[in-house]
């Protein structure tokens, strides 16, 4: 399952679509993922996306929202600031 998320971080994943890829029920997948990884699947996915975004911001210095699964820059900026503690522009400059 981690491979799928890492391979397609921009895909509009839900717990249900992740469970289908894993071949499990939604509830069973959610419990097992949290038990094995230590956090819920969508929280893990958000962290992975922000790690990728931070790297892209440093390398590209351009808008990366769509590359990491966000429909617009505002939603991405809000999520990035929530996870990283600074806005993408401050991170990119720093």
The Cα–Cα gap between 44 and 41 comes to 5
Specify the pLDDT at position 38. 97
| Tens-digit pLDDT profile for residues 43-66 | 999 999 999 999 888 887 667 888
pLDDT by residue, tens only, the chain of 94 residues? 889 999 999 999 999 999 999 999 999 999 999 999 999 999 999 999 999 999 888 887 667 888 898 988 899 999 999 999 999 989 888 7
Query: Which CATH number is 2-93's, of 1.10.8.50, 1.10.10.60, 1.10.580.10, 1.20.1250.20?
Result: 1.10.10.60
Domain spans of the chain?
Answer: 2-93
The Cα–Cα gap between 17 and 35 comes to 19
Specify the pLDDT at position 62. 67
């Amino acid at each position: 399952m981690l491979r799928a998320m890492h391979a397609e971080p921009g895909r509009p994943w839900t717990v249900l679509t992740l469970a289908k890829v894993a071949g499990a029920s939604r509830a069973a997948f959610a419990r097992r993922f949290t038990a094995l990884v230590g956090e819920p699947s969508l929280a893990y996915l958000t962290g992975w996306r922000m790690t990728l975004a931070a790297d892209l911001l440093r390398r590209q210095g351009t808008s990366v929202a769509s590359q990491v699964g966000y429909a617009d820059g505002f939603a991405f900026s809000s999520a990035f600031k929530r996870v990283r503690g600074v806005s993408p522009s401050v991170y990119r400059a720093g």
